[in-house]
Structure 1
Amino acid sequence: MAMMTRFLNRGSPSLLRRGFDFLQQPQSQSLRRLSSARSDDELREPCEFLGSWSPPSDPRIARANLERLRRAYGKQVKQMRKEYIYEVEMLRIDKQRKADARREAMRIENEERKKAKAAAAETRAAEHKAFQKEFRKTLVVITRLKLKSFRATEMERELSV
């Protein structure tokens, strides 16, 4: 019983409210849980096993009835566990899908950032290349002027000597 309670307490609160009324929690906790329940949770009918036992006079019939009740209860618990496992699996799949979508969005964002960075670097490289070209032209012009000036002063020296 305690093991079953631990098993069910790990999962969805909706499973606790469906069909396991015999595992009632203290009133304040169950009220808190019901008040905080999501509106899309579906509640099951009360458990048919509660109050269904009336001891017959013959012990063999009582044992047979009790065995039938145990089997039915076992089937119900097995079905409840299947539903719980399915619900947990669906939650895991949904969480995985959201994580994949988030990773994909981050990957696209990083690609866009890298493209923008590459475009900015390309623009800077083009500007730098244009500046270098202009600088070299300026140096050639200055060198020509200096050479012209130097030749003129040399010519004056030769003429004056």
Structure 2
Amino acid sequence: MATLIRLTSRPPPSSQTLKSLLIPTVRSKTTSTSTPSHRHHTNPHEFSSPSEFLGSWKSPTSPKEAETKLAHLRRDYAKQVKQLRHQYFYEMELHRAEKQRKDEAKREAVRKAKEERKAAKAAAAQTRAAERKVLEDEFRQTLVKERAEKLEYWRATEEMRVQIKSEKNKLLRQQSSMWIDEKDLEKRLVEVILDTTPL
């Protein structure tokens, strides 16, 4: 109970002490939240001019005058709201047209890039087809040349074989003392067998 009595009996802090306690915390909060990016704006917002309705009301002398002034204020306010709406719609239309123009330009750029890629692919395909055709023509010419060389070699070999055979037959004819035709060969063999000469 004694501690409770002491706590409750303590006098409330004065306003000077509260100010001295609150000022450093407020200063620290204001200084900590203000960053350099907030202090230095590269593109500050342009605020519109203050409305002329602010501070324009003066106390009328009679209720009728007050009603008339209020009606004028309402009419002017409605006119200005109408003008602001027209301006807003005009700006939104300009924004929409600008966005549409940018989208069309982007689509056109994408279409041109796609056409350029397609043309580059077609040109590369034509180049590869031309190179492949040149290689095929060279390979075909090589095959034709090899076949011609093989045919020429076969003909030369055949001619050489025929020539060697004819030379061999000619040599046999020269070495034989008497050449017998094939039709008389059997008759001559019989004669040689029967006509034996004694030693």
Q: How far apart in 2 are the matches of 1:73 and 1:116? A: 63
- Summarize the alignment of residues 6-45 of structure 1 with structure 2, pairs less than 5 Å apart: 38=43, 41=46, 43-45=47-49
Q: Which residue of 1 aligns with 2:118?
A: 114
Is residue 100 of structure 1 aligned with residue 78 of structure 2? no
Q: Which residue of 2 aligns with 1:69?
A: 73
Matched residue type, 2:75: R
Q: Which residue of 2 aligns with 1:82?
A: 86
Q: CA deviation at 1:52?
A: 2.0
Q: How many residues align?
A: 127
Q: Percent identity?
A: 50
Unaligned runs of 5+ in 2: 1-37, 167-199
Q: How far apart in 2 are the matches of 1:85 and 1:36? A: 29
SS of residue matched to 1:145: helix
Equivalent residue in structure 1 for 2:132, among 101, 106, 128: 128
Q: CA deviation at 1:77?
A: 1.0
Unaligned runs of 5+ in 1: 1-32
Q: CA deviation at 1:140?
A: 0.8
Larger Rg: 2
Q: CA deviation at 1:66?
A: 0.7
Matched residue type, 2:81: V
Q: How far apart in 1 are the matches of 2:44 and 2:145? A: 83
Structure 2 CA distance for partners of 1:120 and 1:74, relative to 1, 3 Å: same
Q: CA deviation at 1:137?
A: 0.6
Matched residue type, 1:113: R
Q: CA deviation at 1:105?
A: 2.2
Q: CA deviation at 1:157?
A: 5.9
Q: CA deviation at 1:116?
A: 2.0
Structure 2 CA distance for partners of 1:46 and 1:40, relative to 1, 3 Å: closer
Structure 2 CA distance for partners of 1:38 and 1:74, relative to 1, 3 Å: farther
Structure 2 CA distance for partners of 1:44 and 1:89, relative to 1, 3 Å: same
Q: CA deviation at 1:156?
A: 5.6
